[in-house]
Structure formats: structure tokens, C-alpha cells
Amino acid sequence: MSSEDRGSSLIFFMICAAIGAGLGVLFAPKAGRETREQLGDWLKEKREEGGELLARVKGEGGELLSRVKQEGGDLLSKVKEESLHKKDAITAALKAGKQAYAEAEKHS
């Protein structure tokens, strides 16, 4: 059995289990009102858990974004600084080369 088949089988099993649980709740020997209240409470609890998870993800995402911006800015500053140093070195080398060429032209 390939991993794809196992994944499909697992998803199918989970869907069937959820359907079975839902049918079990609906046909349980409780009053309809009591069952609806129980389902409502369960849904409210899951909604609150989802809201808490969303808030946590937003907070962690914001922290991650801030850290990426900071580190990206630091890296950009470092690259700019290194580029300026390299530019200065290249400019000095070109100037020295021009002077050496001019001196060589004078003496020839």
C-alpha cells in the first residue's frame, strides 16, 4: 500500500468516524432540546478554541515578521557597508593604476 493510499484511507476513516459520531449524537436517547444544547455548547467551545488559536498564530506571525524585517534590515546595512568599502578599494586601485600609467608615459 503506497503512502498516498494510506493517506486517503486515513482521511476516509476520519470522515466516516465524524459522520458516525454525529449520527450517534442525533439518535442518542436524549431529548432533542438537550442534544441541541450539547451540540451548541460543543460548537461554542470549538469556536473559542479556534479564536484563541487564531490570536496565537497572529501574534507569532507578527513577531516573526518583525524579526525578519529587523534581520533583513541588518543584512541590507551590512551589504551596503561592504559595497562602499569595496567601491573605495576599487576607486583607489584605479587611481593608482592611472598614476602609474601616467608616470610610465612620462618616462618613455
Place of cell 592611472: 98
- Alpha-carbon distance 77 to 91, whole Å? 21
pTM exceeds cut of 0.85: no
Per-residue burial over 39-77, b if 16 or more Cβ lie within 10 Å, else e, is: eeeeeeeeeeeeeeeeeeeeeeeeeeeeeeeeeeeeeee
Q: What local confidence, expressed as pLDDT, does residue 78 receive?
A: 92
pLDDT in tens, 28-53: 666 777 877 888 898 899 889 988 98
In angstroms, how far is CA 4 from the centroid of its own chain? Answer: 26
- Alpha-carbon distance 65 to 61, whole Å? 6
